[in-house]
Structure 1
Amino acid sequence: MRRSSQIILGFFYWLLAWCLISPAHAQLSTIGREFFVGFMENHRVVPNRIDQATIIISAEEDADGFIQYVNNTINFSIKAGQQFVYDFPQDGLDIIHRTSRRVENKSVYIQSNGNISVHAFNFRERSADGTVVLPLSSIGKDYWVTAHYEQFAQGTNPGSNQNFESTLLILATEDDTRIEILLSALSVDPIPVPPGSTLTVDLKKGESYQIKAVGDLTGTRVRVIGSTDGDCKNIAVFGGNKMTSIGSDCNDATTGDHLFQQIYPTYSWGSEYIHIPLAGRTSGEMVKVLASENNTKVFVNGQERATLNAGRFTTFSFGKDELANITSNKPIAVTTFAKSYRCNEQLGPGAGDGDPTMITLSPNSQLIKKTVFSSVKVVGIVEHFVNIITLSSAAAQTILDGLNIGNQFLPVPGNTAYAYARVKLSESSHTLTNPVGIIAYAYGSGFIESYGYSAGASLNNLNFETEVAYDFEVIGDKVACLGEVGSWTVIPRDPKFEIFEWTFGTGAEVKEGRTVDHLFEKPGKYQIKIVALTGTRSCDQIEETFFEVEVLETKGEITGPDTVCPDIDEALYVFDNAINTKKVIWLIEGGEIIPKDDYSVKVKWGSFNPDAKVIAIPLTEEGCQGKPIEYKVIINEAINPGLAKGQSQICFEPGATYSYQVKDQVSNRQYKWFVEGGQILSQDNKETVEVQWGGIGSTGSIWYEEFSEINPSCAGISQKLQVFVNPPLTVSVAEITNFICPGSNNGKIKLAISGGTGNYIYQWSHDPNWNFDSADGLEAGIYGLVIKDSGGCTITLDSLEIKNSEPMQLLGMPNVRNAGCFDSKDGEIYFRIGGGFGNFRTDMENALVLGKDIQILGLERGDYLVTVYDESGCSLKIPFTIESPPALVVDFEIVNFACSGLPNGILDAIPSGGVLPYSISWAWDGSNNPRLIDVPSGFYPISVTDANGCQTQGLGQMKEGVPQLRMPTGFKPSDGFFLGVSNCEVEFKLFIYDKWGELIYQGNQGWDGTLKGQEAPLGSYSYMIEYIFRKDGQIQSKQQRGVFTLIR
């Protein structure tokens, strides 16, 4: 008759086909490798309060991956236990949604090759919140949203604050996703849509859709529609508020905060929750309970408090130290809301700490065995905590960041099967483990600031139960036995599901039925998938559940005498080398069991029987039966004792003795020992004997005769055990890196071993599994190892030290000699190195190394970075600069232009740069004066040398100039003619005009001051003179006008 195992209550698991989650996380949880996340609107105030979107990635194992949004890809690589933080740019593309009911492309995609957890954070000064991000393996297609919207209490003065819209955000993870939204509140933008309305939106992969409402969007249903079996699309949904206060039951609770949480799929809801108050706050919390089915009864600490229909919710207010057990008769969602800071006790420390935040609670059954999370670094947050729930029986096994915190747990009042702890944390990444499982919530607070989110939970489908039955009793959940047919039955909570398709992860075809049989033929881990359908095969009528089973092979071997005397022997048999074995079922053929236990049996053997047997059937801890193991026993007066037990390979040691014993000890037996090549030192008629063997290289043998004291004719002689005496082991260090650079791992140890049997086993202290005669990649430290051979020789080395070389350092300031000239290569640097190991070298040419003194020659001006290396590979980078005087240049200035054909020019040389004083030499006349005088037009070479001997050549040019003609402003005829004075010879023609502009004189000589032979009247006159001159071989002319006064 078949007996059912206990019911497996809904711990179902889902493993993506391409192994997105490792076997350690086959259950649906917050750990994964592929994520979609989006950011809902926060209340930004431009320009001084801008909201900042941030992704925080915590690694459960080493992980490489990328963050991708719009046209940006950000790569990351982190080690287990570390975190990667990415702040989205605040300028350019705005990744935060700010519109309502508009399809956008603002989702963020994260992929990793290792298991990670992701948290998203939206921070603005005095308005911040964060959420755990569910991996794609844990999202669904049907959601009831929890958000919040709160009116200020009547008579409350809100000051400059106001309560903003509640929000929800939908992200599509696949193309052609059609979504139906049943609104629970008025959405005003872009046009009003009343509550109760149904919206339909089509999204492509990566597209997003935010809804804002003047009212509470809690109870809004979001689900995928239109798809069929095999093409059902999953979506990610978020809920919250742009910025809202919480605490209408408090006085003046007007301060607001952003609310931001990812919504858990409806299939993961449960009916038992535990609310733990938030540490560091005195405000207490508001808890919101949402129903997904009609006639849902809600109980708090066992008392019925509400009856809800689908999409309806109720709220409870709990005190600062009040724990609550919240239960229901149908699945519910439970969310804790921290209140506005004015709800705190306003006297004492922490009165101003905290503000609204929301945390989605997990059902008590949704435990996770390991999670990684981050206590985020946020301006204003001063205290970080984690609330942890686990079974009381497992609390002592809780490990946080490598430390056992079991002593911090207390029993949950009214539910002592569970225990809780509130642990204060540092600002960093954290790892939390418990082999049975935990639920955890991370949060923090500061002055009018807070955040909170799930630190880790599972999201298994709780809408189904399964049971499995075998032809034998098994114990526990998810029991899958190797080589035994199990009958698997699914029990849906909703009777609408009638068709069930099973996949057992073995490659076998899909099986259909409420109950199906399956045989696991090989050990391993398997993911079982159940698809439940109503027959319409539309997405809202299909549910999937996954769970993992491990099929174990139990085995071992039987040891004991295989030949016994008839009717008198009582022998002990032991189940040795057991694997996955809790106990053994013993069966005997040819004898009877006297006593037995889980791993051994004593047998009273009967009469002559050449086919007697000892049979062991191993059982796993769950009760699965392994293959029967048979051990043949011959019952006969001519017994065949086994080889003596003891060393056959001896490591020579002067004066050493060795123990040997009979193979199987049976009561009422006598023994006689024999040796060759050695000497028995003890009595030779006992079960055990002491023997001393010969010298190195010798051989020997040992055997014994065994007979019954009751029936001496029942006797036999064992075979001879051959013994070899090997030379002792010798070892020397062939190579060791004495010094390595601090922080490096390039140390090496190599050994030279001889002696023994030649077959060696190495057990290094730093890695017992490293079975080689050399080890490299070593850090500084003391290393040891044990070397063994197959003959029992052992030698131990325990002081092989690799030291950190003394860090290299620069002793004093470098002595720099700058380059003498701007472009010369005569700069030098001298410096002295301290520390290091061995000889030094540099990566620069022209370096002279004398011990710890280093000089580098032949340097031109510029910035340098020289690297000095020691023999251990350590390096020291030394930056320095070689300077030089400014470039030596010479400019020229014409003081007086030369007249055409005349040596009357004056040319100045003006040196600059270099180092004063300068030495000048003109090639024209060998003079060393900067001024060259009385030179005609032409080119004049010059050489300039500065005080450092730097030299430059120049070529000055004297040009022919335009003659400068100066005319008098007053004219007295008694002093001579009215004409101009020029620095060069010119020919001219002069025109004189009276004050009415009438020409009264023209000619190529000066004017004598007469008009028609008479003295011209006194007064003002004007002139125009045109003069002709030669410049650069060309005849040129120029006119000049002016006014003068005639006087006498």
Structure 2
Amino acid sequence: MNKWGLIFLLFCLTVFLKEAKSQNISNEGTDFWAVFPSHDPSLDLITRLPALANITIYVTAKSASFVTVRCGSAAPISKPIPANTAVPFVVNRSQAYIDQTEANADAPYNNRGIHIEVRNGFPKVAVYAHIFAGFRSAASLILPVESLGQKYMSMNYTQTLGGNNLLTLVATEDNTRLLINDNGNVKEVDFKKAGEIFEYMAVSGRDLTGVTVEVDPSSPDNCTKRFAAFSGSTSVSIGCVERPDLSRDPLFQQLYPTVSWGKEYGVAPFIDRRYIARILAEENNTVVKINGVVIATLGKGQFYTTEEKIEGIFVSASKRVSVAQYSLTQKCSGIDGFLKHGDPEMVLLNPIEFNIKAVTMFSSTAEAIAERYINVIIKTKARNTFRINGALVQNGWKSFPSNPDYSYQQLPITEISSNLSAAEGFNAIAYGFGDAESYAYSAGTNLAANNYLLINNTITNIDAPNACIDQPSDFKIILPYIAQRISWQLNNEAAIPGSLTYKEVITTSGEVAYQYSLNQDRKFTELRTERIKVIAEAPNANNCLAGDIEYNFEFEVYPIPSVDFSLDALSCPDAELPFTDRSNSNIADKPINKWLWHFGDGETSTEQNPVHLYKQSGEYTVTLFAGLDDGCMNEIVKKITILPKINAGFQVAAQGCVNTDLLLTDQSSVASGTIVKWTWDFGDGKTPVVRTSKIPFGYQYTQSGTYTITLVAETANSCVSLATQQEVIIYDLSNSDFLLPEVCAEDDLAIFINKSGNQQGNTAGLTFTWDFGDPASGAANTSTQVNGAHKYGMAGQYIVTLTVRNTSGCSTILKKNFTVNGSQITASFDILSPTTTCGNKVVMVKNNSSVNSGVITKIAWYMDVVNRPNEVIIDEEPEPGEAYEYLYPNFTTPFPKVVTVRLVAYSGTKCSEIIEKQITLQPSPILVFDNMPDVCLNAGKLTVVQAKETLGVPGQSSLSGPGMDTDGKFDPMLAGLGAHTLTFNFTTADGCTDTVRQTITVNPIPILTIDSEIYVLAGGKRKIVASATGDGLTFKWSPSIGLDRDDVLNPTVTGEEDMVYTLTVSTAQGCNIVKLIKLNVLEGLKPANAFSPNGDGANDTWLIEYVDTYPDVTVQIFTRQGVRIFYSKGYAEPFDGNFKNEALPVGTYYYIINPNNKKKSITGSLTILR
């Protein structure tokens, strides 16, 4: 072995295979037993008969295998098992099913067990069972015989009406005696033959969780006996408030022996659904935590059931526990508590410590399963290595909040068979949901056992479940007792006596076991399955009877991996170089999963595809060791050359100022080669500057602060240096500004007002230097005062400079052009308006002033300097030719009025000139137009008195607008409703005019509809029919004699004497309308003496005029024989010539009309004509 081989060996002992001492028991095997327990069938929707379920065994394998399934007297079913494919075996129901009437029998039922065997010499397989029919579905992982144990505890669920908990047992060996301990009640069950079945069922729907079943310690060969146990329910509802119409499903899971229980479990939620978890304790004083919080201390066989949950939880316990996860009844299974497809299901979870790194599993679509998923739990650091069917799963992972070292994933799947793999171990369950259907089971697991075989590779000193071809191997067996004698037999060779020297080891379950070794340095030259038999004499102790116990093991001979990797043989220093593993395990279903890289510079890595950075140039030897968990490994060595190192560097001042060049000088170097590119990042968020020259250059920061400048240099062969950095502090500049004065050559001083300030807005810490641009003035040309002051000797253009420096040494320089104006001013203006104008007209004047040098800096207008000498209009920035408007105030005397306009033009404080001109103003009228009150539409023509001229000047006036007639009056009818604007105009004798406006509103009058005459019979009453529209109407009748009310539109009038009424209707705005209504009082009714009810629309009913004025009138009609054929109180529905819906014959009839108001009744005859 070379020196790197020695390094690798030491590495392997500590890191490379942490599982080196673990057992080689998993859910894969060559010999399995399953059962078909009782269930409650659902009804077929068509036949309404029970839909009897069947059981299908699904077999998968990582490598092609061959399997036979047997049950009862049915013909065996043998099939090849292609790699990574789920192959179904439909079991004969009549041979396997256990009816509920067969539960709790006196003895087991013979040959009911389902036996699954791999043909000799073929690889191991994984087995799953699925029970389904109608609206029933349940599935379980099936464990190989080698993983079975001697003690189990039942896991069930609180039973609902209509079902029963059950515990189903199958013997895997002849003459197996079991004890069922149900709360202290012990039942003995003797199995004469392997494959016999016994079903223990609870009575009265009792929960069997915690019931213990174990091999009778007093039975012969008790230490070698193993059996399989299954638990569940014939059917159950979970989660909803119990009622008869809830859907239900059976529960069915193979139990793990208690030695395969664990102390840590991750529980990932069923996707989009709520779930319940149950935790079962093996021993007393088991402290249970969920998400790190103690929730219970359990005794042996006791359990804790969680409330309904939607998030993942992490379960930990002080002693071994079993954990089950339950889906809920469909009606309430959704996260929101409402319906979501699925039904009750129980899945037994595997503890974190019993994980797998690769498994091929199946996901059934029967019975009516529409959604299928896989939940995966793995260490967070390894989750990005997890693959499904070769594809990495890198998104969607969630960490357990209480244990972020572990993460879980919920994956929807569409394939029947799926291959799961990862660089580190994981736990997984498969589950599916349909309409009132579900299943769930463990995808696969490693399991604890109290005896197992290890192969020791004497080259690497690694213990593993398998041997490596052409490499020497020794053998180790782990036993739960101290053997009195031991022998070893490899294949069919002669037995070899073994040494009784042992080593105590701690098993995965934390128990003490004993390790015996056979040192053979045996080399295997063929890739095949080997067999070894170990016979050990057990002592009469630990509940085991003394005697020889035979152990048979199979192990595989694996090929040596082909190790290779790719790299760039010529690489850059200080760069992260990728090393890509291209190794092959040479085993189809077992990819390389352990790596050790030695980069030749003292650094190593255990990643598959590491990235490494060499800090120095030169040639290095890279060695890769690659191997498997099983211990087979190989190595390869390659060379890499690292090009000369680039040393980036630069020089820069430690401090600088905003908006000021910061000088950068490159100092980078390389031993050989040429630097061709410099990438500068100035740390201010801007795009880095790329330069192709090392010539010094400047850079400006726009904001103050501390910045990190980063330089990366690059050579012509594209190698880049490590980044080099320096910090610089950039200080703010001061805010510089000053005001320019307006001066002329005769002014004493030009005062420059300093407006500069620091970041706080004051001058603290600032110094100032003024340069007035007048060097002829000598020393007076500069000043350090805050405000500058200078006497300029002559007119002209100057440049004034202010330099401001702050305490950080940052300076700002501000220059402004400054003009000293001349003193020879020509004041001038034009009057653009007529020189004689009306007093209410705007007067416009234009400035034409000028100066011999510079500009006019200010003008002052005095528009009436004689009468208003203090009224002045100042323009501080006058423009030549600029016009100004002015409106003189109204005046009464004198008529006319002459005003003097004065203009004063300035070029500095002491330099000014005056000019005056006169304007004659004619008097203008002063008008008022007072508010006009609203008027009604029917108000008639109005004289407008609100408009007038107030000065009394002679002239003519006029009114115009909507509603104004030729007589100068306002007519509301002519104007119409709404608001109208009237215009008042006045013109003086001199032609000066003025106009004012005012609004008047015309309001609507009520609209009244009523007859001018109404008729009432003497003593009769009638409601006056009338209608009116308008805003906020009120009513008044006069006189009120004979009326029930005089303030409503429709009073009731009583016929006493003829009368003329006046009705006044008023709006809310006070607009009225008045109407006269004449009341005519009649002396009696006028009944018609005949009518013709023949349906022609004329005279079809008997008319009695004015009868409506007698509201209490009764009308009766009789035949000649005195039979009354019509009666009415009031006459709202006139007589139509029918009696009892039959037409009366033509003829004469008699009537009596009683007014019922102290008037006499009216009688007469009536003829019906047809």
**Which TM-score band (shorter chain)?**
0.3 to 0.5
Higher relative contact order (CA 8 A, sep 6+): 1
Larger radius of gyration: 2
- TM-score, length basis structure 1: 0.45
